Amino acid sequence: MGLAIGVDIGGTKVLAGVVDDAGKVIAEARRDTPADDVARTRDLIVEVITELAAAHDCEAAGIGAAGWIDAGRSTVLYAPNLAWRREPLRDSIAAQVTLPVFVDNDANAAAWAEYRFGAGQGARSLVLLTVGTGIGGGIILDGHLVRGAHGIAAEFGHTLAVEDGHPCGCGARGCLEQYTSGTALVRYARASQDLLARVAGDPSKLDGPAVTRAAQDGDPAARAAFAEAGRWLGYGMADAVQILDPDVIVVGGGVSEAGELLLDPARRAYAERLAQRGKLPVADIRLARLGNQAGLVGAADLARTR
């Protein structure tokens, strides 16, 4: 049984684990990310790998990082929520641990995990859309993870949705993730006086989980916020299908935990937008199955099978 370590570096948490060759996490370690401190983040990755490797006989360590990774998969070119700028992550970690080290984008790692062990099992081609603070994406075509010529493929969140629309963290305006994401959902909800009244007029209390709870209680404005976020997600799915024609689209990320509140309007918009609707078979839409372990499971499996 081949074991590997997977480490998922997010903007707030580092999740690490020992993963077997069936994608099962047999040991876990978690820490808060010191997001603004490059040296401490590096030390912490070394620490969790060393800790897990001491207790388990592992072949390799894979790191999934929220950022743009170069085509050689050694350097994090830019990480929007971390201090990494041209950070030679693979070599700096490999110099301090005894295992071979592998680095990939966190959404690529999550897509690989869902393809191998989760909602995409049995598919040849898969698109993962993670709906969280923004939109992440991963593409697997004919069994291969598609990273692109410069390592920045699958950035579905930054395709154009609305000309001159809402400003995006990437510097452009009107990106898809400004219309479907946790951020967009909350913006829609905060426009509702009724929903603001539920939190005594304090918009900061109207976060993603609060909007989800209100929608689950049947609140019409919260349901409308999900309908709007879902509609734009469906348009994004239709674009992905027109370009890539996968067997399955897997929807993950924190907002997807609302399930059909998000997926039902997404499926309707998806069906409306497809040029092939009713004429050709098109991708199934499925909820992700591996939850917040997807990134570390995929990073470990990519490291083990690289």
Residue 8 three-state SS: strand
Quote the CA–CA distance of 34 and 50 in Å, as a whole number: 18
Selected from 44, 168, 229, 251, the binder of Zn ion by CB under 5 A is: 168
Quote the CA–CA distance of 284 and 86 in Å, as a whole number: 38
Residues 214-233 interacting with Zn ion (rule: CB under 5 A): none
> Which one of the spans 37-45, 155-163, 229-237, 282-290 is the region binding Zn ion (CB under 5 A)?
155-163
> Which one of the spans 34-42, 124-132, 157-165, 233-241 is the region binding Zn ion (CB under 5 A)?
157-165
- Tell me how far, at minimum, the Cβ of 170 lies from Zn ion, in Å: 3
Asked if 152 touches Zn ion (CB under 5 A), the answer is: no
Nearest to 152 by CA among 170, 164, 125: 170
Amino acid at the residue 237: M
- Tell me how far, at minimum, the Cβ of 142 lies from Zn ion, in Å: 29
Q: How many residues does the chain have?
A: 306
Nearer to Zn ion, 94 or 176 (CB): 176
Nearer to Zn ion, 172 or 275 (CB): 172
Site string for Zn ion, 50-89 (x = CB under 5 A): ----------------------------------------
- The neighbour count for residue 304, using CB atoms within 10 Å, is 22
Asked if 175 touches Zn ion (CB under 5 A), the answer is: yes
* Lookup: tokens for 185: 């959902």
For every residue of 115-135, DSSP letters joined together read HHHSTTTT-SSEEEEEESSSE
Using CB atoms within 10 A of its CB, is residue 190 exposed (0-12), middle (13-18) or buried (19+)?
middle
> Which one of the spans 34-42, 161-169, 239-247, 251-259 is the region binding Zn ion (CB under 5 A)?
161-169
Asked if 158 touches Zn ion (CB under 5 A), the answer is: yes
| b/e per residue 44-79 (b: at least 16 CB within 10 A) | bbbbbbeebbeebebebbbbbbbbbbbeebbbbbeb
Nearer to Zn ion, 177 or 301 (CB): 177
Asked if 184 touches Zn ion (CB under 5 A), the answer is: no
> Which one of the spans 66-74, 99-107, 165-173, 197-205 is the region binding Zn ion (CB under 5 A)?
165-173
Nearer to Zn ion, 73 or 187 (CB): 187
Residue 194 three-state SS: helix
Quote the CA–CA distance of 17 and 184 in Å, as a whole number: 32
- Tell me how far, at minimum, the Cβ of 212 lies from Zn ion, in Å: 24
Selected from 170, 196, 199, 210, the binder of Zn ion by CB under 5 A is: 170
Asked if 244 touches Zn ion (CB under 5 A), the answer is: no
The residue count for binding Zn ion (CB under 5 A) is 5
- Tell me how far, at minimum, the Cβ of 197 lies from Zn ion, in Å: 32
**49 in Cβ contact with 5 (< 8 Å):** yes
Element (H, E) at 222: helix 220-244
What distances in angstroms separate CA 148 from CA 46, 138, 299, one per listed residue? Answer: 28, 11, 18
Q: Which parts of this chain interact with Zn ion (CB under 5 A)? A: 158, 168, 170, 172, 175
